Amino acid sequence: MAAKILDGKAVARELRVGYRERVRALPAPPGLAVVLVGEDPASKVYVRNKVKACAEVGIRSTVIELPAGVTERELIERIVALNEDSAIHGILVQLPLPAHVPVRNVLEAISVEKDVDGFHLYNVGGLVFGDTVFPPCTPYGVQCLLEHAGIEIEGQNVVVVGASNIVGKPMALMLMQKDATVSICHAKTRDLAQFTILADILVVAAGQPNLIVAPMVKTGAVVIDVGINRLPDGRLVGDVDFEGVSRKASYITPVPGGVGPMTVTMLLGNTIASAERAAAQPVASAERAMSGRAPAPA
Ligand code: NAP
């Protein structure tokens, strides 16, 4: 059995066509502010990709570069100013931040209505109720990829390998909202294979090349590889042995070209949704952005 490829690049391209239309329908282009602290080369590449993707659909992006020695206070002051700027609909702080800056304080300073990465505590908490203002981009991208392929989620056994705050945990909550039966595994899980073998849908986000090999996968499973690992020879691979597992799975995501392009695309979608909300309720949105308060749940 050869698995069908879940082509994130192609789905992303298709979604972006619709996004361009939505941007054109707005009274002014959506604005995304990306805050980049320090000189981390990987962060710079990620920011460059996000800026490029924004331009592609007509989102106006602004990169605010701050030195690695920036204080928590200076950084939060910049965010507060962005919260109050009505031309900005999304604010993203590129992680990781330098060790001296408390990440949570910085993320909590972002207005919930502009938290397009979905990392504010309100948005994280909203995942439990299924009413986030912005779903976090990577798990949201995975969900869209599954839905786009018409893969049933309700009632399926889902195993998520990786329990980080930005991928594994929100992924598990989002698929639980879709009525899947979800198990979460992490580095201290004993006998990972006894869980993965039960998965109808296996989502892997551990950052460990070759962690998942064919004998750990049920025949016909849907395998989503979120991992991105750079091997010593320069190759980019996921967490799943693609060659072996693709002979056993029904669907599989490639790395690169699977979840990665979907993550950036969800960021664009969240930013456009924010601009649409602001255009629909200009006064209420501006007031809430100033106060940092969350909108009432839908
Ligand atoms: P992270 O914060 O390092 O979390 C990794 C998670 O995997 C942790 O929960 C860890 O368990 C678990 N883990 C590590 N080794 C394991 C093992 N041998 N067996 C089972 N679980 C194990 O990483 P992350 O930010 O979630 O990212 C995970 C991967 O996805 C990375 O490769 C990252 O580059 C990639 N990523 C891709 C995208 C994309 O758009 N495609 C976006 C974000 C991240 P403990 O909690 O017990 O330590």
Q: pLDDT per residue over 146-196, tens digit each? A: 999 999 999 999 999 999 999 999 999 999 999 999 999 999 999 999 999
Side-chain half-sphere exposure of 150, counting CA atoms within 13 A: 1
Q: How many CB atoms lie within 10 A of CB 292?
A: 19
Does the C-beta of 272 come closer than 6 Å to ligand 1? Answer: no
Does the C-beta of 167 come closer than 6 Å to ligand 1? Answer: yes
> Would you state the torsion angle of the CA atoms of residues 254, 255, 259, 262, taken in this order, to the nearest 10 degrees?
-100
Does the C-beta of 138 come closer than 6 Å to ligand 1? Answer: yes
Q: Which of 46, 159, 164 is the best mutation target for the ligand 1 pocket, counting ligand atoms within 8 Å of the beta carbon and taking the most?
A: 164
Does the C-beta of 216 come closer than 6 Å to ligand 1? Answer: no
Does the C-beta of 192 come closer than 6 Å to ligand 1? Answer: yes
CA 263–ligand 1 middle distance (angstroms): 15
CA distance linking residue 159 with residue 250, whole number of Å: 16
**Per-residue pLDDT tens for 135-151?**
999 999 999 999 999 99
Q: How many CB atoms lie within 10 A of CB 232?
A: 5
Residue 271 has pLDDT above 50, yes or no: yes
CA 121–ligand 1 middle distance (angstroms): 20
**Quick one: which atom of ligand 1 is closest to the CA of 211?**
18
Q: Token digits for 250?
A: 């029904």
Residues 6+ apart with CB under 8 A from 116: 32, 89, 90, 91, 92, 134, 137, 267, 270, 271, 274
Work out the average pLDDT over 269-288. 82
Residue 294 has pLDDT above 60, yes or no: no
Which residue numbers are catalytic? 50, 94, 117
Residues 6+ apart with CB under 8 A from 263: 137, 138, 141
